[in-house]
């Protein structure tokens, strides 16, 4: 399997190279040259365990990796989850299901991909003998999951940009209390969008990338998206057989990486009915699906901070397919969006996507209402999924554990929402650094702290 860039200005590469680059050298995002047809495999895969399914799926994509080594890495990646099913599906009613994606080490859906990516990077270092410097941007969860996926891996330095004061205190502690001397949480003044934009510019400097061994942990890295495909398929099988093809997958959305993974799986032939893009008050994607115009607004901090995003980086992958796999059109659209802050699609077709928006007051009342109805505590991001549910059965992706957002939960409910792994962080020392969110300042910091 080869991987192409959405911007079409670099030659196709193999899986390992796409993972190592993260962002394609032309500034585009990697995608598989062709998507496999999974239909003939669906019956055989139905009863596989989570790691077995992940292995079967990745064997179609990571075709340049040694098969036995791939299986071993996948096996290791799901050992630190605290639920035997890894991604359990919980029934709230006959037509409402929740896919719990918070049983990994940092209690958010990011662990599914970042535990695996950590192992991919470890293997890459062993293969090439070259150390790597990972650079990521986070609105709270990716950073923690990346740091924990890479903790203890030899030859890795991890640099994570995040908007100071705009993530939950416990999310910050997950990144800043590791005690590891190769982990650098970098607080910036500004929003996640500012951090992500500066990060992408750093990746475009190929000379710097080669010098420092730069790698990406955000969902610009295709390995992230592919690993996220697996839980859609796993949960599809866990729904009652009669409901599978009628069920809408409801996905709390910010950077569009999570829902894109499900949508790609649908393009590979898995008969998922459709997707609900559930945004918080930072609703650029909701407005897009309602109007066909993708128009930048200001980021307004919310009680679902990990979705405080306006420039959804994976939207470029959607545009690639929506515009007939034409990289020239992708480049033109991205250029228009960059220069004017908006783009209107002609004859926009949302396909099987629908969308919703929930503001802070809505999130608080949903948390109370869901608890009252089902005795179930949802985190503020997952809460967005409960707004105006589509007709028919729905499966809501629970993207984070409520314990990460105790203040919002306490305002809505009087239940104990603590988690021991987070409580343990409260006594630890916080170590963080401040940088300007400019590519120059980030590169200077990384050079100063690179591997000796």
Ligand X SMILES: N[C@@H](CCOP(=O)(O)O)C(=O)O
Interface with ligand PLP includes 306 (CB under 6 A)? yes
Q: What track of x and - describes contact with ligand PLP for positions 81 through 110 (by CB under 6 A)?
A: ---------------------------x--
Region 210-229 residues binding ligand X, contact defined as CB under 6 A: 218-219
Sign of the Cα torsion 167, 171, 175, 179 reads positive
Of the candidate residues 106, 176, 247, 253, the single one contacting ligand PLP (CB under 6 A)? 253
Number of residues that bind ligand PLP (CB under 6 A): 16
Rounded Cα–Cα distance for residues 143 and 154 (Å): 19
Give the total residue count for the chain. Answer: 452
Q: Are the beta carbons of 276 and 286 closer than 8 angstroms?
A: no
Token look-up 């996905």 returns 251
Name residue, tokens 């021991």: 420
Q: By CB under 6 A, tell whether 399 contacts ligand PLP.
A: yes
CA distances from 141 to 27, 231, 416, 424, 436 (A): 24, 18, 22, 18, 21
| Cα–Cα dist 62/80, whole Å | 23
Query: Annotated catalytic, 110?
Result: yes
Task: Select 333 or 400, whichever has its Cβ closest to ligand PLP.
Answer: 400
Binding mask 291-310 for ligand X (x = CB under 6 A): ---------------x----
Q: Does 257 bind ligand X (CB under 6 A)?
A: yes
Q: How far is the CB of 44 from ligand X (least distance, A)?
A: 30
Cβ neighbours around 94 below 10 Å, total: 9
Binding to ligand PLP (CB under 6 A) within 193-222 occurs at 219
Looking at residue 12, the DSSP 8-state letter turns out to be -
Contacts 24+ apart (CB under 8 A), 79-87: 80/104, 80/105, 80/115, 81/105, 81/111, 85/50, 86/50, 86/51, 86/234, 87/50, 87/112, 87/231, 87/234, 87/235
218 binds, among ligand X, ligand PLP, none (CB under 5 to 8 A by kind): ligand X
Q: Which does 399 bind (CB under 5 to 8 A by kind): ligand PLP, ligand X, none?
A: ligand PLP
The active-site residue out of 110, 200, 404, 443 is 110
At closest approach, how far in Å is the CB of 405 from ligand X? 12
Residues 4-23 that bind ligand PLP (CB under 6 A): none
CB of 404 to ligand X, least distance (A): 10
Catalytic positions are 110
Which stretches of the chain bind ligand X, using CB under 6 A? 138-143, 218-219, 254-255, 257, 306, 313
Q: Applying CB under 6 A, which residues contact ligand PLP?
A: 108, 140-141, 219, 252-258, 306-307, 381, 399-400
């Amino acid at each position: 399997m080869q991987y192409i860039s959405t911007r079409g200005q670099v030659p196709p590469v193999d899986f390992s190279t796409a993972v190592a680059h993260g962002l394609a050298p032309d500034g585009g995002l990697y995608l598989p040259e062709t998507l496999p047809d999974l239909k003939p495999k669906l019956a055989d895969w139905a009863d596989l365990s989570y790691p077995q399914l992940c292995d079967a799926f990745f064997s179609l994509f990571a075709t340049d990796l040694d098969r036995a080594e791939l299986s071993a890495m996948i096996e290791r990646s799901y050992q630190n989850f605290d639920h035997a099913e890894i991604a359990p599906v919980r029934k709230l009613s006959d037509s409402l299901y929740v896919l719990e994606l918070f049983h990994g080490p940092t209690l958010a859906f990011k662990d599914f991909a970042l535990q695996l990516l950590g192992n991919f990077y470890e293997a890459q270092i062993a293969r090439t003998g070259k150390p790597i410097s990972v650079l990521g941007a986070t609105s709270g969860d990716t950073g923690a999951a990346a740091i924990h996926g890479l903790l203890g891996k030899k030859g890795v330095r991890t640099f994570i940009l995040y908007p100071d004061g705009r993530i939950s205190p416990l999310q910050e502690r997950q990144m800043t209390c590791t005690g590891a001397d190769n982990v650098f949480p970098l607080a910036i003044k500004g929003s996640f969008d500012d951090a992500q934009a500066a990060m992408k510019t750093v990746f475009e400097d190929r000379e710097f990338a080669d010098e420092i061994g730069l790698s990406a942990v955000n969902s610009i890295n295709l390995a992230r998206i592919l690993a996220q495909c697996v839980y859609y398929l796993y949960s599809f099988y866990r729904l009652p057989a009669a409901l599978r093809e009628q069920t809408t997958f409801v996905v709390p959305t910010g950077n569009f990486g999570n829902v894109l993974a499900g949508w790609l799986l649908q393009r590979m032939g898995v008969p998922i009915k459709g997707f609900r893009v559930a945004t918080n008050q930072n609703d650029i994607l909701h407005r897009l699906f309602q109007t066909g115009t993708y128009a930048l607004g200001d980021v307004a901090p919310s009680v679902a901070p990990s979705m405080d995003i306006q420039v959804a980086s994976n939207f470029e992958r959607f545009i690639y397919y929506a515009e007939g796999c034409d990289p020239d059109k992708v480049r033109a659209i991205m250029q228009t969006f960059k220069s004017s802050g908006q783009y209107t699609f002609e004859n926009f077709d949302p396909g099987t996507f629908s969308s919703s928006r929930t503001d802070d007051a809505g999130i608080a009342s949903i948390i109370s209402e869901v608890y009252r109805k089902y005795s179930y505590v949802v985190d503020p991001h997952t809460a967005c999924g409960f707004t105006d549910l589509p007709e028919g059965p729905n499966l809501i992706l629970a993207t984070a554990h409520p314990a990460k957002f105790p203040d919002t939960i306490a305002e809505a409910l009087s239940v104990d929402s603590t988690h021991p792994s987070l409580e343990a962080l409260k006594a630890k020392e916080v170590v963080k650094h401040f940088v300007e969110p400019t590519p120059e300042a980030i590169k200077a910091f990384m050079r100063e702290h690179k591997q000796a």
